[in-house]
Amino acid sequence: MKKEKKENGFRTEWKKRRKTFIKNGELSLLALPTIIWVVIFSYIPMFSIILAFKDYNSMKGVFGSEWNGLDNFKFLFSSNDAAIIIRNTVLYNLAFVILATAISIIIALLLETITKKFFIKLYQTVLMLPHFVSWVVVGFVMMGLFNYENGVANNLISALGGDKAMWYSTTKPWPYIITSSYLWKQVGYQALFYYGAILAIDDSLYEAGKIDGANKIQEIFYITLPMMRTTICTLLIVSIGSMMRGDFGLFYYVPNNMGSLYQVTDVIDTYIYRMMRVVGNVGVSSAVTLFQSVVGFILVLVSNAVIKKLDSDSAMF
Amino acid sequence: MFKSVKISSIVINMIFILLCLVVLIPFMIIVFSSLESKTGFLKHGYVIFPKEIDFSAYMHVFRNPHRILSSYGTTIAVTAIGTAISMVLMTTFAYVISRKDYPYKNFLSFFLYFTMLFSGGMIGSYIWIAKYLRLTNTIWALILPMLVSPFNVFVLRNSCKEIPFSLIESAKIEGASETWVFIKIIVPLAKTGIATVALLQIFAYWNSWFQSMLYINDGSYITLQYYLMEMLSNVKYELENARNSATISVSEEALRMALCTLAIVPMLFVFSFLQKYFVKGLTVGSVKG
Q: For A188-202, write each residue's pLDDT tens digit.
A: 999 988 888 888 888
Q: Residue B289: its pLDDT value, please?
A: 34
Which chain B residue has its CA at the smallest distance from A270's CA?
Answer: B122
**A172 to chain B, minimum CA–CA distance in Å?**
22
Q: Is the pLDDT of residue A278 over 70?
A: yes
| Lowest-confidence pick of A46-50, A115-119, B156-160, B267-271 | B267-271
| C-alpha A29, offset from chain centre | 32
Q: Among candidates A191, A200, A206, A209, which has minimal Cα distance to A228? A: A200
For residue A27, give the nearest of B99, B119, B225 by CB distance: B99
Q: How many CB atoms lie within 10 A of CB B261?
A: 22
pLDDT of B287 > 50? The answer is no
How does the average pLDDT of chain B come out, rounded? Answer: 87
Lowest mean pLDDT among A172-186, A197-211, B71-85: A197-211
Interatomic CA distance for residues A134 and A253, integer angstroms: 10
Q: Is the pLDDT assigned to residue B162 strictly greater than 50?
A: yes
Parent domain of B208: 64-283
Residue B109 lies in a domain: yes
Stretch B19-37: mean pLDDT: 94
A26, A136, A296: residue with CB nearest B232: A136
- Could you give the CA distance from residue A137 to residue A171 in angstroms, rounded to a whole number? 22
Q: Is B178 exposed, middle or buried (0-12, 13-18, 19+ CB in 10 A)?
A: buried
- Best A20, A23, A41, A128 member to test B by mutation, with max B CBs in 10 Å, is A41
Tell me the Cα Rg of chain B. 24
Distance from CA of A259 to the nearest CA of B (A): 14
Q: What 8-state DSSP symbol labels residue B127?
A: I
| Residue B55 located in a structural domain | no
Helices A152-159 and A135-146: crossing angle, nearest 10°?
Answer: 20
Q: What is the pLDDT of residues A133-166, one digit of tens each?
A: 999 999 999 999 998 888 999 999 999 988 989 9
- Confidence tier at B286 by pLDDT (50, 70, 90): very low
Choose, out of A16, A120, A134, the residue to mutate when testing the contact with B (most B CBs < 10 Å): A134
Interface of B with A in 223-252 (CB under 8 A): 225, 228-229, 232
> Would you list the DSSP string of B8-57?
HHHHHHHHHHHHHHHHHHHHHHHHHHHT--HHHHHHH-S-SS-S----HH
Q: How far is CA B77 from CA B135, B207, B215, in A?
A: 17, 13, 17
Q: Which residues of B touch A42 (CB under 8 A)?
A: 115, 119
Minimal CA separation from A7 to chain B, in Å: 25
**A55 φ, ψ (degrees, to nearest 5):** -100, 95
Query: How many other CB atoms sit within 10 Å of the CB of residue A177?
Result: 19
CATH number at residue B275: 1.10.3720.10
Find the mean pLDDT for residues B227-231: 88
Nearest-Cα distance to chain B for A275, in Å, is: 10
- What CA–CA distance (Å, rounded) separates A149 from B41? 11
Contact B127 A130 (CB under 8 A): no
pTM summary value: 0.89
CATH 3.60.20.10 fits A71-314, yes or no: no
The ipTM assigned to this model is: 0.88
Residue B288 has pLDDT above 60, yes or no: no
Average pLDDT, chain A: 89
The mean pLDDT of A230-258, rounded to a whole number, is 86
In chain A, which residue's Cα lies nearest the Cα of B99?
A27
Task: Please tell me which residue, A175 or A257, carries the higher pLDDT value.
Answer: A175
Type of residue numbered B278: F
Instruction: Compute CA B286 distance to the chain's CA centroid, rounded to the nearest angstrom.
Output: 20
pLDDT of A307 reads 77
Domain membership flag for residue B10: no
Q: Which backbone phi and psi does A68 adopt, to 5 degrees?
A: -135, 25
At B235-267, the pLDDT tens digits run: 545 555 555 554 567 888 888 899 999 999 888
Q: How far is CA B15 from CA A41, A133, B29, B127, B278, in A?
A: 45, 24, 22, 49, 24
Dist CA A72 CA A76 (whole Å): 6
The reply to whether residue A140 touches residue B256, judged by beta carbons under 8 angstroms, is yes
Residue A108, pLDDT > 80, answer: yes
| Among the partner residues B12, B33, B108, nearest to A114 by beta-carbon distance | B12
B95 domain-assigned: yes
- The answer to whether position B35 is within a domain reads no
Whole-angstrom Cα distance, residue B95 to residue B160? 6
Of the candidates A252, A255, A247, which has an alpha carbon nearest to the alpha carbon of residue A143?
A: A255
Q: Looking at CA atoms only, how far is residue A308 from chain B in angstroms? A: 14
Contact A111, A193 (CB under 8 A): no
| Residue at B32 is within a domain | no
Each domain of chain A, given as residue ranges in start order, spans 1-40, 71-314
